DNA sequence: CGCGTAATTGAATCAGTTCAATGTCAGTGG
DNA sequence: CCACTGACATTGAACTGATTCAATTACGCG
């Protein structure tokens, strides 16, 4: 049964098991793997599929004419990427870790073959994406660098944290430049923000990509705009 | 016939004519008027309807815990507002001019009564909204105030400009604070940017809310990131 | 071990904010 | 008709925080 794939923002490991792969028709999802750095699609590409992430992290970005880049979002397991506009992809999309995906034909076939579960799933994914993008605005609209960075870590803490002893750890798949382009800052400023957060004992950096959240409460207070936290 | 309402980003004046209003069932749209300053919904409200704008301008915004406000978008005739996430509205929405709307029940009834035209319309609206939000990121991610302001005017030029002699004019329904909260700037900086654009003879301000675009080419060059334009 | 990439740190500069003052306009009432 | 009011926009000056550019350090990989 396909319903495992259709759950909102849930990984789908169980959906790519052999039984599933065998009885495949046009509208069945196709599993796919991406290596680190491999692009999934580019801005302007005709969109044939949307993809649900099973494992790994992807980066969606738009390029400016002058070479500057805006990272639109990072997509994690359960997320849907590739929702097009006017039949074309609107961003660059690249794997920043090894990834496993399910490719769903989009738009679904017309008429009788149209699967209402899939319709609901895709509408739900689109609506969730809208909310996420709105959330993102709060991150980059007129806030101090330290607040933005704290909010970013808090975001990852909610989405992809793993336990480590009495603390929780966030493994950053993205580098400082990716984070900077996501937050509307420079890599240097992001780095300084991390240093400051470390200085305040709100987090510890094992290495540059491994963030141990020491004080999630203070992190969230900072993220909400209280600089003195 | 209802198809006039379902066209992508088009005003629907013809759809609220009497003939339409008479044969109304549960899934038919309901016309609605809003006065200046009147809220349509608030963040967190249970979403019963989505709305298509026929006339007027609406402002969608999110409030921060610390009182700061992020304007998410301005919605113009043809636009759809009120797409919910998890059954609830995700922003504040308020009329900043007199408005006429069509309210569509959302989500559509389940099962047989589900209208595929409406489904497509809503999905299309959602996808277009995603693209617009992505576009908005390019406006506020690490750009100079003058570039942001130029890009904002260029945006309005494409969407709601009216001819005036040999030039085109943009009537700003929103005040400087709204623009500032949209662009991630202060009202003062927005004002200074307008002054600078006027000084460069790229635009003229009839009054503070009436922008005459004198040099659209240079406006767009500036908007694309060339400060010297 | 050494190379290359990425992250961090430092110092000077610059752009935007802040706060205060002034200006402008529409609406109201004398 | 014109003075007054209040809301909004503009301008000015000092300040502050992010950027820029350069130098240094840390780290993964052959």
Residue A72 and residue A21 in one domain: yes
- Cβ atoms B184, A141 nearer than 8 A: yes
Mutate to test the interface with B, among A47, A104, A142 (most CBs of B within 10 A): A142
B7 shares its domain with B20 = yes
The protein footprint on chain C, as nucleotides within 7 A of a CB, is 6-11, 15-20, 25-26
| Residue A24 covered by a domain | yes
CA pair distance A44, A62, nearest whole angstrom:
11
Of A200, A212, A216, A207, give the one whose Cα is nearest residue A176. A207
Task: Look at residues B107, B124, B139 and tell me which one is the last residue of a structural domain.
Answer: B139
Count of other CB atoms within 10 angstroms of residue B65: 11
Let me know whether B175 and B189 are in one domain.
Answer: yes
pLDDT less than 70: residues of chain B: 1-27, 108-114
Chain A residues close to B129, C-beta within 8 Å: 130
Q: Distance (Å, rounded) from C-alpha A50 to C-alpha A82?
A: 5
Q: What is the DSSP string of B32-89?
A: EEE-TT-EEE-TT-B--EEEEEEES-EEEEEE-TTS-EEEEEEE-TT-EE---BTTB-
Are B109 and B12 part of one and the same domain?
yes
Q: Quick one: B16 and B106 in the same domain?
A: yes
Residue A9 lies in a domain: yes
Please, what is the Cα angle at B162 between B159 and B167, to 5 degrees?
115
Contact A130 B130 (CB under 8 A): yes
Q: Nearest CA of chain B to the CA of A181: how many Å?
A: 8
Strand D footprint nucleotides (protein C-beta < 7 Å): 8-13, 17-22, 26-28
Q: Return the pLDDT at B226.
A: 82
Chain A residue numbers touching B127 (CB-CB < 8 A) = 83-86, 126
pLDDT, residue A107, reads: 79
Helix/strand/coil (H/E/C) assignment for every residue in A137-188: HHHHCCCCHHHHHHHHHHHHHHHHCEEECCEEEEECCCCHHHHHHHHCCCHH
Distance A191 CA to D24 C1' (A): 15
B135 vs B74: CA distance, rounded Å: 13
Range of the domain at A97: 3-139
Pairing of strands A49-55, A99-105: antiparallel
Residue A190 lies in a domain: yes
Residue A229 in any domain: the answer is no
Same domain, B15 and B108: yes
Is the minimum CB–CB distance between A72 and chain B shorter than 8 Å?
yes
B114 vs A114: CB contact, 8 Å cut-off?
no
Contact B101, B54 (CB under 8 A): yes
CA nearest A143 in B: which residue? B184
CA distances from B74 to B60, B92, B117, B174, B197 (A): 6, 12, 26, 9, 22
Closest CA to A168 of A200, A205, A199, A211: A211
Look at residue A109 in the predicted model and tell me its pLDDT: 59
Determine the Cα–Cα distance for residues A39 and B180; give it in Å rounded to an integer. Answer: 36
| CATH code, B193 | 1.10.10.10
Task: Please count the structural domains in chain A.
Answer: 2
3-state secondary structure of A56: coil
Contact A137 B70 (CB under 8 A): yes
Judged by a CB distance cut-off of 8 A, whether residue B136 touches chain A is: yes
In a domain, B194, yes or no: yes
CATH (domain of B68): 2.60.120.10
Single pTM value for the model: 0.90
Q: Specify if A228 maps to a domain.
A: no
Give the model's pLDDT for residue A141: 87
pLDDT of residue A16: 40
- The verdict on A155 and A116 lying in the same domain is no
- The percent of chain A in helix, strand and coil, each rounded to the nearest 5, is 40, 25, 35
B28 and B90 part of one domain: yes
Residue B229 lies in a domain: no
Asked if B122 and B203 sit in the same domain, the reply is no
Q: Could you give the 3-state DSSP secondary structure of residue B211?
A: strand
Q: Are B78 and B52 in contact (CB under 8 A)?
A: yes
Do the domain assignments include residue A93?
Answer: yes
pLDDT tens across the length of chain A (229 residues) = 334 444 454 444 444 444 343 444 446 789 999 999 999 999 999 999 999 999 999 999 999 988 899 999 999 999 999 999 999 999 999 999 999 999 999 876 555 556 788 888 999 999 999 999 999 999 998 799 999 999 999 999 999 999 999 999 999 999 999 999 999 999 999 999 999 999 999 999 999 999 999 999 999 999 998 877 7
The last residue of a domain, from among A139, A168, A194: A139
Backbone φ and ψ of A164, nearest 5°: -150, 100
Among B106, B139, B172, give the residue marking a domain's end.
B139
Using the 8-state DSSP alphabet, how is residue B129 labeled? H
Examine the domain organization and report whether B32 and B123 are in the same domain. yes
Which of chain B's residues have a Cβ under 8 Å away from the Cβ of A223? none
* A19 close to A61: Cβ distance less than 8 angstroms: no
B45 and B115 both lie in a single domain: yes
The DSSP call for residue B112 is G
d(CA B24, CA B29) in angstroms, rounded, equals: 8
Sole residue written with tokens 């978008």: B73
pLDDT of B5 reads: 45
Q: Does B114 touch chain A (CB under 8 A)?
A: yes
Do B116 and B160 lie in a common domain? no
Q: How far is CA B68 from CA A96, A141, A224, B133, B212, in A?
A: 33, 10, 10, 19, 31
């Amino acid at each position: 049964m396909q319903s495992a794939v259709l759950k909102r923002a849930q990984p789908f490991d169980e959906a790519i098991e052999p039984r599933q792969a065998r009885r495949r028709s046009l509208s069945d999802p196709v599993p796919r793997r991406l290596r680190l750095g491999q692009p999934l699609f580019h801005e302007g590409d005709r969109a044939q599929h949307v993809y649900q992430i099973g494992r790994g992290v992807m980066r969606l970005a738009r390029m400016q004419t002058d070479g500057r880049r805006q990272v639109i979002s990072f997509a994690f397991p359960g997320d849907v990427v590739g929702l097009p506009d006017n039949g074309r992809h609107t961003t660059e999309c690249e794997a920043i870790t090894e990834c496993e995906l399910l490719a769903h034909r989009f738009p679904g076939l017309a008429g009788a073959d149209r699967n209402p579960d899939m319709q609901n799933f895709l509408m739900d994914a689109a609506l969730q994406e809208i909310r996420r993008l709105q959330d993102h605005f709060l991150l980059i609209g007129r806030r101090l660098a330290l607040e933005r960075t704290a909010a970013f870590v808090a975001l990852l803490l909610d989405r992809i944290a793993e336990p480590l002893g009495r603390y929780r750890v966030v493994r950053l798949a993205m580098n400082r430049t990716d984070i900077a382009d996501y937050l509307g800052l420079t890599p240097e400023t992001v780095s300084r923000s991390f240093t400051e957060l470390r200085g305040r004992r709100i987090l510890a950096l094992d290495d540059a990509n491994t963030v141990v959240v020491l004080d999630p409460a203070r992190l969230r207070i900072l993220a909400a705009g209280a600089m003195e936290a």
